[in-house]
Amino acid sequence: MLVTGALKKNLFDAGVECHLTENASHISDGFSFEPPCGIKLMELHHECSIGSFSYGVSGFYSHTDIGRYCSLGESIQCGRGAHPSAWMSTSPFFYCGTDRMFYVGDGFTGASDFATYQSSHPEHPADRNGRTIPNFLKKTIIGNDVWIGHGAFIGQGVTIGDGAVVAGYSVVTKDVPPYAIVGGNPAQIIRYRFNPEQIGRLLDLRWWRFAAWDLKGIDYPRIDRAIEQLTDVVRDASPYTPGFMSIRDLEPPPPVDVEPAKHRKAPPSLAKRLFRIW
């Protein structure tokens, strides 16, 4: 879906901060969100979702579900699809189905063959999905309260557990356990944020079900005290459930022609029309 000023306004009203370039950037039709959240300059492809209180600065996200309270840095590459490495070639020229690979003119050798070329094989999918075969897409999952540093690469199909931290420029190829801090290439566990008992309690509490304003007054820097206070919140407060919304529901209606009559170009005269026919 093309990002227009009207779409950005609808996103803003629905609780999404978006800085994508108007009339140039796109957001996948498969994007859904739970407000409030910030997609800033994130490129979102295929089926992506983001939960309340999460934001991403920039980068490319493919087929990824993002939980609540996530902080995703700049230029992250997440869940990018695979090419078929076991086929004769990994090139999309042999699996991309019906679409043209490059939108180019006809001033080169083979241009007419190129224009009509369609790869064909019984195992081609019926529908193309971007430039990636849907069968090759695996969902990438980013849990709740996950912090991903600048420039990280998150392989497709990876699950990053609740509370985890991914160090800047890491290459994450395997699932990351909850509350682990991982870094490097390939990313390894550096340490855990808390001890096993604390992690167990946080995972049981699932405090991210609650709105930030219901968590006000918690002693955030002192984890044991915070866990005690969270126990009270979980007992007394109601989870925050704004619901997920699809970007399809925010698509503005097509523009109507509001050009004032006096600025409209007059239809050509009969003589001119006849002249054109001749």
What is the residue whose two structure tokens read 């990438």? Answer: 140
User: Closest CB to ligand COA belongs to which residue?
Assistant: 149
d(CA 47, CA 25): 17
Give me the 69-108 binding string for ligand COA, x by CB under 6 A, dash otherwise: --x-x-----------------------------------
What is the residue whose two structure tokens read 């290459």? Answer: 171
- Asked if 150 is an active-site residue, the reply is no
Stretch that binds ligand COA, among 80-88, 160-168, 204-212, 217-225 (CB under 6 A): 160-168
Give the type of residue at 232: D
Give 48 or 148: the residue with its C-beta nearer to ligand COA: 148
201-205: long-range contacts at Cβ-Cβ below 8 A with a sequence spacing of 24 or more? 201/227, 202/162, 202/163, 202/227, 202/230, 203/162, 203/163, 203/178, 205/230, 205/231, 205/234
Q: How far is CA 146 from CA 46, 54, 67, 162, in A?
A: 21, 9, 8, 6
Stretch that binds ligand COA, among 45-53, 118-126, 167-175, 240-248 (CB under 6 A): 167-175
Q: Which of 26, 45, 63, 83 is catalytic?
A: 83
Q: List the one residue from 60, 114, 136, 169 that touches ligand COA (CB under 6 A).
A: 169
Query: Is the peptide bond preceding residue 36 cis, with omega within 30 degrees of 0?
Result: yes
Judged by CB under 6 A, does residue 183 bind ligand COA? yes
Residues 229-268 within binding reach of ligand COA (CB under 6 A): none
Give 171 or 233: the residue with its C-beta nearer to ligand COA: 171
How, if at all, do strands 37-45 and 58-62 pair? parallel
Judged by CB under 6 A, does residue 170 bind ligand COA? yes
Please give the positions annotated as active site. Answer: 83
Contact footprint for ligand COA (CB under 6 A): 71, 73, 149-150, 165, 167-170, 181, 183-184, 190
